[in-house]
Amino acid sequence: MSPSGAIITIDSLSFFFATPSQVNSIVPAFGHFGTRAAVHGERLHGLGDSTVDVSLGGVSAKIVNDSNTTINIIANHKEGGTGDVLVTSNTGATAVLKDAWTYVTPAKINSVNPSIGQTGTRVVISGTNLYGGGVKVDTVVVCGIPVEQIVTNLADLIVVIVGDGNNLPDGDVVLTANTGAITSLTGAFTYIEKGYVASIAPNHGREGTRIAVTGVNLFGGGDYLDTISLAGFKATDRKSVV
């Protein structure tokens, strides 16, 4: 329509309103930084060919991959709260699911004990909400090295056996939950030089023989030796160790 009121019609061109995009669900519906989630819906591309943004409670998530019906994302940082899931396609079309996502209280590592050690050191990691909305911690990495074993796996206490590292100062301890949620403590652990036995004298004997064991970092970051075995037999007096 022109300013004069005249109407112009172009028969060869047409415009139609497509069926709106629709977000049906997000699974899981809660988490925090690093949590992997899947947004399910219909016509999420809104007649386009890709998704350009997914926001959770007003914070853009990382898009891993997307289709017209499912978008896989990784949640970003936010301190708690419930908010909308908003999907935006490359055409600008949007779809929203109200109050569908909740940021749980972020996991927090309070302490790492001991904070120094070497390969095989048993380390206790204490904190709060370490599962980050999940049901377990899947991986623990210390100074960039995956731990050898997770011995205890609780929401407030993780006990691990550290992996093979040597002379790595002030490294981070990073926990990843089964949902992908991540928490870390910067500069929480130091790998000292690996301990080794340099000599044993005498190198033979029988029950009651006093033996001197010398070497480097034999305590492995601890305060004392817990056990000593000789040819598979446990020694009975640690005071004989030098």
For residue 28, whether the previous peptide bond is cis, meaning omega lies within 30 degrees of 0, is yes
Domain 108-191 has CATH 3.40.50.10860: no
pTM, to two decimals: 0.75
Q: Classify domain 22-103 by CATH number.
A: 2.60.40.10
* Distances 214 to 14, 199, 218, 219 between C-alpha atoms, Å: 89, 5, 8, 11
* pLDDT in single tens digits along all 242 residues of the chain: 456 666 655 555 565 567 889 999 999 999 999 999 999 999 999 889 999 999 999 999 999 999 999 999 999 999 889 999 999 999 999 999 999 999 998 899 999 999 999 999 999 999 999 998 899 999 999 999 999 999 999 999 999 999 998 888 899 999 999 999 999 999 999 999 887 788 888 888 888 888 888 888 788 777 777 788 888 878 775 544 43
| Residue count (the chain) | 242
Q: With beta carbons less than 8 A apart as the criterion, state whether 145 and 160 touch.
A: no
Which residue spans of the chain are classified as CATH 2.60.40.10? 22-103, 108-191
For residue 146, whether the previous peptide bond is cis, meaning omega lies within 30 degrees of 0, is no
